[in-house]
Amino acid sequence: MFLHAERERERERERPRNFNSLIKKLNDLQSKDSEEHFKKIRSIDWKELDDKYIAARFIYLNKAGFNGLYRVNKSGGFNVPWGKRENLKIYDKDSLDSLSKYLTKSNGSILNEDYKKTLKRAKKGDFIFVDPPYDGDNVFTSYAKEGFGKEDQKDLAKILNDLTNKGVKWILCNYDTDLIKELYKGNNNMVLSAKRYISSDGTKRINSYKEVFYFNYEIENQKVIQGMHEYYSTLKTTNKSLESYVDWVKIENNINEHKLNLLQLNYFTRSRTLGDIKSKIKTIFQQEKNDIFNSLEILIAKRDGDKKHDRKYMDELTKEIKEYSFDSEKSVYEFMKGTNLINLFQNVSNLSDYVFGVEVGMDTNARKNRGGKIMEHTIEKILKENNIEHETQKDLKKISELSVGEKKIKRVDFYFTLNKKEYFVESTFYNSQGSKISETMNSFSDFTSKIKNTKFNLIWVSDGPGMKSIKNLVKEQWNNVNLMNISQFEEFIKNNT
């Protein structure tokens, strides 16, 4: 025991020096990164290096190599090509330091041996996580020169099932293939979506596939965990389409409201002085065409004021609150002078073209309000593509069978019947977090509980990165609300038609 304690103290004393030596070697390897340098380091026989250089070499080759791949040839040599990365960073010093301290003080061991030998060490009460090369056709297994085929998968499954009998807990991940299903049937499992990008051939990369976890023990709230994973792993970062950036129809309609007035207001585009403007205002009033001035507000990117306070402003000199109007020559002149419209008239020759640009700019403010409409359009498109008859903006007060007291939800986005079941659908998309998301969640949970014993079912289709801000609430309410994202709703509809 004394010798063991002494060895521990010695490791702790040596750790700072060894760690600093490792960092120095990593910095050197990182600073010299190039294809030629990478190949040179890769060709070195690691058996000829000291421990610190072996560690530095391994980290460098992994981070500087293509796509973080680890692969060997039939001779066991590392043969991954250079990754050609700009601004290469091969380590995080704080993370590496924390790991170094933990490994130095812990009683754990890092072993480099056949997995069968390692698993034989397991005893009752131990926990094992097993991450073998995955099963499947055209799946990369060249982590070792021997590979890892279907017979190896069978050998591994037999060992793990034997460990179950010894009282050892384990969890294994793999592809959800027929072989894996057969080998581990009888054990608990969770099928999850996962992303993988490691492949030397970009055209053969798997962006998303079903990954299965098998385990020989019970996990609390397993269905909730799996359901939430599937929901959050397939959220969309945006629901905008290119056509959603500008509402051209609305812009055209807005311009048409002012079109004739703008043509006549072009009369002012040749003005060079305030005197010219005053003279032209007088002429227009004499011709009784002063209605054209009702379109002046759009020239300063302002909609027509339909309320008195919309036209109020503070006089810069007197600090008095005044109200502009277009009822007289004086009031029109003061508006043009105060807003410096002469600058516009001196630089623009066609006010219709100018207002077109103004309308496009003003329309950007409406983008955030279009998110809900885009979501409704997405849901309706899914229903139409699957030939599902439906109603939009269904008024719940008109459903005589539905009596749930004071309803916070007065109408729903969609109503349809599917396989003799009647569904209400509410759709939302949240780009960012906010208290409204939590309020909506609680509202739908309450509504779902009130219609529980009726023939109606509520589906809340909600998507977007903002949903990540209420993960705890989602977990709490998971069994109370039928929550789906866009992809899940589409799959639900297709599977039931």
pLDDT, tens digit, 9 for 90 and up, residues 195-228: 554 444 444 444 445 889 999 998 888 889 889 9
Per-residue confidence (pLDDT) for residue 110, from 0 to 100: 86
Q: Are residues 173 and 213 in contact, defined by beta-carbon separation less than 8 angstroms?
A: yes
Domain edges within the chain:
2-105, 115-219, 248-364, 386-495
Q: What is the pLDDT of residues 256-290, one digit of tens each?
A: 999 999 999 999 998 889 999 999 999 999 999 99
Torsion angle of the four alpha carbons 346, 347, 352, 355, in this order, in degrees rounded to the nearest 10 = -110
Q: Are residues 412 and 424 in contact, defined by beta-carbon separation less than 8 angstroms?
A: yes
| The token pair that represents 16 in the structure block | 């700072």
| The token pair that represents 304 in the structure block | 């027509």
H or E element that contains 3 = helix 2-31
Per-residue confidence (pLDDT) for residue 215, from 0 to 100: 95
| Residue ranges, the chain, pLDDT below 70 | 1-11, 138-146, 193-209, 304-309, 368-372, 403-408
CATH superfamily of 2-105: Adenine-specific Methyltransferase, Domain 2 (1.10.1020.10)
Query: How many Å apart are CA 58 and CA 55, to the nearest integer?
Result: 5
Query: What is the distance, to the nearest Å, from the Cα of residue 485 to the centroid of all Cα atoms in its chain?
Result: 12
| The token pair that represents 42 in the structure block | 């890769």
Per-residue confidence (pLDDT) for residue 8, from 0 to 100: 63
Query: What is the distance, to the nearest Å, from the Cα of residue 327 to the centroid of all Cα atoms in its chain?
Result: 53
Per-residue confidence (pLDDT) for residue 426, from 0 to 100: 95
Least Cα distance to 410 among 421, 422, 398 occurs for 398
The whole model's pTM is what? Answer: 0.60
Per-residue confidence (pLDDT) for residue 205, from 0 to 100: 46
In this structure, the strands spanning 169-175 and 127-130 are: parallel
Q: Measuring CA to CA, how many Å separate 300 from each of 251, 303, 361?
A: 16, 9, 12
Query: How many Å apart are CA 184 and CA 157, to the nearest integer?
Result: 7
Is 2-105's fold the same as 115-219's? no
Per-residue confidence (pLDDT) for residue 407, from 0 to 100: 53
H or E element that contains 210 = strand 209-215
What residues pair up with 395 in beta bridges, in sequence order? 411
> What fold does the segment set 115-219 form as a domain?
Rossmann fold (3.40.50)
Report helix angle 486-495 to 367-385, nearest 10.
20
Per-residue confidence (pLDDT) for residue 311, from 0 to 100: 85
SS3 state at 191: strand
| The token pair that represents 195 in the structure block | 């992303």
